[in-house]
Every structure is written in C-alpha cells, then in structure tokens.
Amino acid sequence: MNLLAPRNTWYPLTWSRNVTRTLSRHRILGMDLVVYRSEAGRAIALDDACPHRLAPLSMGKLRGDAIECGYHGMTFGPEGRCVRIPGQPVIPPNARVPSYPLHEKMGLVWIWPGEAALADPSLIYDLPQHGEPGWHAAEGDALRIETNYLNLADNLCDPAHVSFVHLSTLGNSASEEIPVEHSFGERGVLVWRWIKSAPPIPLFAKYGNFQGHVDRWHYYDYIAPCIAVIDFGSADAGIIADPADRGAGLRIFACHFITPVDDNICIDHWLHVRNFALDDADVVQRLHADFRIAFNEDKEILERIEQVARARPNAKTIRLAIDAAPQRMRRIVERMVASEAEARASA
C-alpha cells in the first residue's frame, strides 16, 4: 500500500441503504471493515479481523450491538472492545479491534479514518440544493473502477474529455476547440467552460424541448480528496446573461463521491440533483441510464489506461493546457498528506 490519501477527512464508505442488521464487508484505504447498524439504528464500522486468529468478523453473528466471531466466539462491542471470550474468564486489555467514526449524509455513510477526536460531521461536503424545494435528488450506483482514485479525480477535473468520450450523452463536437477555464483554491479546483449557441447535447435534447441552439455550461468542482460535483446544464441561447443565473436553465448536479478502496481500485458513488421534471420518476430512470452509459465510458478508458501504465512504468507523458487543473488537484492532495505527516512528526 502506497496510497496517497489524507486520513483526517471524511470519505464516502457505502450507501446508507447497504448498512443493515446484516454484517457486511467494505474496503477503504486498504482496510477491510465490517459494517452494520446497531439496534438503535446507528451505523458502526470495525476492523474486519478478529485479533485472535484473524477470522473476518463479517463471518460472525450479530448479538445485539456486538459481533460474535464465527470461529471461537470472541465478542466485540460497537466500540471494538472485547466483551466475551468463551471458556476464559479474563479478557486481556489488548483484546480489541479498531473502530471508526461514521456519519450519514446525502444517503451515504461517511467514514473518518484518521484521528477520531477530529471527526467533525460538519466538515462533510454539503450541496445546498440536495434536499431543497425545487430540486430532486436521486441516488445512482457504486461504480467500481480498477484504478487509483486520483486517476478518477483527474477525469473529474477535466471537462475537455466530454467532447470525445461521451458523444451519445453528455457531449458533442461543438465543444472540441473551446479551451477550459479554471480557478484554484486551498482545498479544491474549479474548471469550467461555456459553449454558446450550439446544438444541445443528447441528454438535454431529450428533456429541453429546445427549438434552436442553446448555451450550455460544464462546471467541474473538485474538493480534495474525494468530492467532485459537476454542475452542467443548458438554456435557450442568449437567455442567461449572468453565469450566476444558471438556475434559469435545465440544470443538473452530478455528484461523484469517491471511495479509495486501495492503491488500484476506487468506487465512484454517484448521484444526481436536478431542477426539472421533479415529479417524473421515469425521467430519473432515463437519466440513470444515460449516466450509466457515460460513466462506464470513463471506467473503460481509465481501466485501459491503467493497464497501459502498468505495462510501462517509466513512460514519459506530455502535459497539455487542459492538465492544469488535474495537476493542481494532485498538488493539493500531496500537500494534505504532507501536512498530516508533519503534524504527526511534531506531535
């Protein structure tokens, strides 16, 4: 494991709907966790290995809020402390498994893998439109991609690929030559472009009932290390004078909450929030279908690139103008990891 990922931050672990009274196993940052819900409904994550013989606790049984190991019955409470060793009255003080702070928001369970004392739920990313009147949020999938999570983050700081990769859904050739703009912050990058007075992209052509050309936008908002929200939409050409008035058009936030599984695998937990056809369940299914096509196109290209990169560990690559934001994204993550290392060293 040589994963470049800060620890003192919230990561998406899995959809809340997956956390039940049945033990399940999830992997993040190279750690295997057993995840379940307490009788009172609280999500709990423990290290998924009994400290006795390393049997996965997820093979065991839920006894109230505790887990009984399926091999010899050692039992651990929701904070990871051993509460029973069958046939042995004394429980050694080191008989415990690590537990991790969890918090639920936007339909996901978020985990804080770092110092538990710092785990402030208010630090979890907030999309104001999620749950607001006038907007409809729909949970998507957990798309597993066989590449390092920063390679997916590259893709999500990069509106330029849309013109070539997603021609049946999110892009068309009208944007090919339009440069991207960007702004950089302490914790993130924002990359965007407007395509003015051009044919609508296939996805919006279905819902917009546009009679002629449209103005459309793609804003890629990345917040290190695992949040990427794409604000994109379209309106009849000319009607949006101020870019801040994007709500006057058809607008979608496509949220990508990235789980770094380990060095070589990540999961894209995606959902979308839109301001049109709010009561139309059919539109949700059609959008899901379109997003599945598009995100699978990204998955395929990222996985093929990963294979090439592994076969050529010393390959030299060329930087283009569109790489400024992905490069800054990596600098931000590196800085986060380095400052955690410094804090540990000085402590």
Q: Site residues (CB under 8 A) for a second copy?
A: 32, 48-49, 51-56, 59, 68-74, 85-88, 92, 94-95, 154, 160-161, 163-165, 176-180, 300-301, 304-305, 308-309, 311-312, 315-318, 320-322
**β 11-15/108-111 pair status:** antiparallel
Shorter beta-carbon distance to a second copy: residue 60 or 208: 60
Shortest Cβ distance from residue 306 to a second copy (Å)?
A: 9
Q: Smallest gap, in angstroms, from Cβ of residue 257 to a second copy?
A: 23
Q: Note whether 287 and 263 are within 8 A (CB).
A: no
Decide whether 311 or 347 has the Cβ nearer to a second copy: 311
Q: How far is the CB of 319 from a second copy (least distance, A)?
A: 8
Question: What is d(CA 100, CA 78) in angstroms, rounded to the nearest whole number?
Answer: 10
Helix H or strand E encompassing 336: helix 324-346
Task: Name 253's Cβ contacts closer than 8 Å, sequence gap at least 6.
Answer: 127, 129, 130, 229, 230, 231, 272, 273, 274
Cβ at position 164, least distance to a second copy in Å: 5
Return the H-helix or E-strand segment holding 104.
strand 102-105
Between 73 and 247, name the residue whose CB sits nearer to a second copy.
Answer: 73
Query: 11: which strand partners?
Result: 111
Closer CB to a second copy, 134 or 179, in the complex: 179
CA distance 121 to 222: 19
Query: Between 42 and 61, whose beta carbon lies closer to a second copy?
Result: 61
Q: Least distance (Å) from a second copy to the CB of residue 49?
A: 5
CB nearer a second copy, residue 91 or residue 277: 91
Distance of closest approach, residue 30 Cβ to a second copy, in angstroms: 8
- The neighbour count for residue 319, using CB atoms within 10 Å, is 9
CB hemisphere CA count around 98 (13 angstroms)? 14
Q: Please tell me the distance from the alpha carbon of residue 288 to that of residue 269, in angstroms, as a whole number.
A: 13
